[in-house]
A and B are shown apart, each in its own frame.
Chain A
């Protein structure tokens, strides 16, 4: 099956710093989503981005489908950005397959 690798596994930042999270996948996909799992365990949708670039406030994402990777950019990080960021991919109507996530800790 398709493999999803996320890097880095852990990231520690000071408030105000910028960061880039990466997601590599092993095969072509029709669906790619980024999620934030907050400390209470909720999985929050950030982006649905099988290709192209999107922005939402301080967050933006880019997926280069032909090269099988996606990037999530977080600018001016805040303590509330802490948590685990997951990339998940799907093929032709299949369920999402998740990477192991990047754990982000932002300190004030």
Chain B
């Protein structure tokens, strides 16, 4: 158990819908990262938050957004979902910048 908790584990939804994925980092970790893993793109970095502030953006679509709350948990919002958004979404956390990152079990999103 990495200590990073993601909910839900599985999600099936229709095209055009909006979903929210939740991540609770390890206790005390200030950094939260979101990644998308699809069969053809591998593990792609989406966005990084540090202590409530957006730190960096990767390959995140405009239809996707995220935030980190004062209690340090984070949510990833995916809207206007398309079939191609079906993927495994991971959250990771680390204590500070550049320290060892630990990954949650992922949320498997299926868009039908």
Contacts and interface: CB of A to CB of B under 8 A. Distances in A.
A98 interface: yes
B100 A95 contact: no
Interface residues on B, range: 20 to 34
A30 B45 CA distance: 17
Q: Is the interface of B mostly helix, strand, loop or mixed?
A: strand
Contact of B108 (A41, A86, A101): A41
Given A41-B108, A95-B33, A48 B45 contact: no
Nearest to B97: A93
A100 B103 contact: no
A45 B58 contact: no
Interface string A63-105: 0000000000000000000000010101011111110110000
Given A48-B100, A92-B98, A94-B56, 4 more contacts: A45-B103, A95-B56, A96-B45, A101-B42
Interface of B: 2, 33, 35, 42-43, 45, 48, 55-56, 58, 88, 90, 92, 96-103, 105-106, 108
